[in-house]
Chains A and B, each alone.
Chain A
């Protein structure tokens, strides 16, 4: 099976869907002539021309609104935000128009649109350009929120998102674009709302999605060397949320740590923590732990920048707490 990057997987999904359906088009800053700020749209302008791969001015509220209008008129836009930090400028369009119009028109108007781009911290970008904003979008009824962590999941889910008749927030990550993974040739899609158990285990459930998946996999590997079998549930989509997979895993392991790179307050992690204590109460042997970014704006100092985000050590400490082990029981070798 070919091994490609996450960036390439996204490009393939857009390419295939544009070839499949001529209503699909891409718009955003630098997506056309520059081939994308992160080279996701490489070659698409040459292939589909300037009517379907459109460079926009630096006006998020403007081109986001144009995208929503195009969707109302029957097209299927893919709006690229250069990063989700800039999406804040377009929040009114997204929350008040994209998320509401189907509801307010009594179902007469569909908004088949995908908003995509890199979300979450990269490196050396300081407070305003290092934000993980999924909790904000997940809060809004009417939006679907998808956050794949592997090239395979990214391609299959983006194709499904483009074909969906609702606004979909599709979260990528600058650091994930170069991640590699096997992606089969040819057509496949992955339904929204299906988590993927990335690792089977019996001792503790680690729930995560998007970029922290790698940290969680690394942690699970360390735990396995110490005799603890962690189960990794990769949510892949936040809305809709695959509660069935979450609950069946927690009911099996009785212990759960949620790893989420958002801030902790009113977050995806805290909400799932509540769902678990609500629906798996009698199966829990310990309170659910969450590992998130610290509740502060991102520091510029690189050591601090890394330290405020979820780390393997923080996840190990949380696993110790849900397993009633002394702090420091699970150590990385050399520590």
Chain B
């Protein structure tokens, strides 16, 4: 899709820049990182490196002309794209000098697109000319968050470009139309809309969910209200799945030592120790050796957690929650077990405090007790990886000597956020974890 190339803040104090020289002419292909032009700022002449890729369809600012921060200097896209809407937009903006045609909405709209770029230029938001915050009604913000839609994708129709409910719904509807979802259902809906528009302006656009509701006949379902907790689960998990590029690694682990260790530990201490406590401790040891797996993506930087805080997914009647055992790297298995018991109890009573379930750097989800052999879990932010633990199953295994022996095999699947954890790093972590589970003393190597 064609988009604008915006003047960004190339020095911390500039408010506009002069195009000293274009490096890319109309029709040239631009890759990310290419220098498209030189910009004369208040301090020096700087190269403008592109953060977009495509063909320069139009240069909007000629050499020797100035553009304010956030104003479009070019349009980039694919050959043959219709850029008339973008051009119109830009003309409206440049007509801003006559007060009557000033449409603040457009200025802010284009400013919004450049928000990230100009921040990289080192300028603080407060110093910008005009207000560059994305304005959205609280409801629109909430709807966009629930739908996993970044606000900067939505054009606001309210005062000063405020994004309102109708804009979010129009965007969602647009997605639906593009995807051709519910094609059969679309015709009658459009008819309804047309009838509505004929009379007065339509008051309420049907969001996607309500349209889905439309294809369910009333006698084929019963409805339960969505609780606040369910809403949070839905928005966090879809947010994670849509924004974090997941990939999955599975390994088979011999669990015989794990079973034996647990039996021995339980007998010698007289308390029943859970597999989860052992797995948390083993995972903590592996994380200490692979700190990149205990980290989170922050857009312009990666945070490496200094402590090992591991969350465990716990099912509740009305949802799930991940209580967090803190600092597992410095705790023994029994200490972890005691904390875990307490946290699980609280989780089931719905009495966990936010600090008891937020901020895990790594998560474990164990469906082994349901007989699930293996599964892939959705990463639970701010963690960048989640370990899905399957059932322990007695399995014939061909050993190194070529003999078939019976071993208890457990499958572990690691979901990783590729923005932080590359494949080799995830694989190395999983290999270490496998070694520790099969031979715990290797944690001390």
Chain A residues engaging chain B, CB cutoff 8 angstroms: 202-203, 226-229, 254, 281-286, 323-325, 329
Contact = CB atoms under 8 A, between A and B. Distances in A.
Given A286-B164, A324-B164, A227 B203 contact: yes
Contacts, number: 41
B200 A227 contact: yes
B141 A282 contact: yes
Given A203-B203, A227-B200, 8 more contacts: A254-B139, A281-B138, A283-B138, A285-B138, A285-B165, A286-B137, A286-B158, A325-B201
B196 interface: yes
A285 B140 contact: yes
A324 B202 CA distance: 12
Contacts of B203: 203, 227-229, 323
Interface residues of B, number: 18
A228 to B, nearest CB: 6
B164 A227 contact: no
Interface of B: 137-142, 157-159, 164-166, 196, 199-201, 203-204
25 contacts: A202-B204, A203-B204, A227-B199, A254-B139, A254-B165, A282-B138, A282-B139, A282-B141, A282-B142, A283-B139, A283-B142, A284-B139, A285-B137, A285-B138, A285-B139, A285-B140, A285-B164, A285-B165, A286-B158, A286-B164, A323-B203, A324-B157, A324-B158, A324-B159, A324-B164
A124 to B, nearest CB: 39
A202 B204 CA distance: 9
Given A203-B203, A227-B196, A227-B203, A324 B141 contact: no
Contacts of A227: 196, 199-200, 203
Q: Most chain-B CB neighbours within 10 Å: which of A284, A285, A323, A324? A: A285
A12 to B, nearest CB: 42
A202 B166 CA distance: 14
B145 to A, nearest CB: 9
Nearest to A283: B139
A238 B116 CA distance: 48
B164 to A, nearest CB: 5
Contacts of A284: 137-139
Contacts of B158: 286, 324
A231 to B, nearest CB: 13
Contacts of A226: 200
Contacts of B199: 227
Contacts of B166: 324
Contacts of A323: 203
A229 B157 CA distance: 22
A237 to B, nearest CB: 28
Nearest to B166: A324
A165 B92 CA distance: 66
What 10 pairs across the A-B complex have the smallest Cβ distances? A285-B139, A285-B165, A285-B137, A282-B142, A227-B200, A282-B138, A281-B138, A254-B139, A284-B138, A226-B200
A284 B142 CA distance: 10
A281 B157 CA distance: 20
Nearest to B145: A282
A227 B195 CA distance: 12
Contacts of A282: 138-139, 141-142
Contacts of B196: 227
Contacts of A202: 204
A52 to B, nearest CB: 53
Nearest to B196: A227
Contacts of A228: 203
Nearest to B139: A285
Contacts of A324: 157-159, 164, 166
A125 B331 CA distance: 80
Nearest to B142: A282
Contacts of A229: 203
A283 B165 CA distance: 10
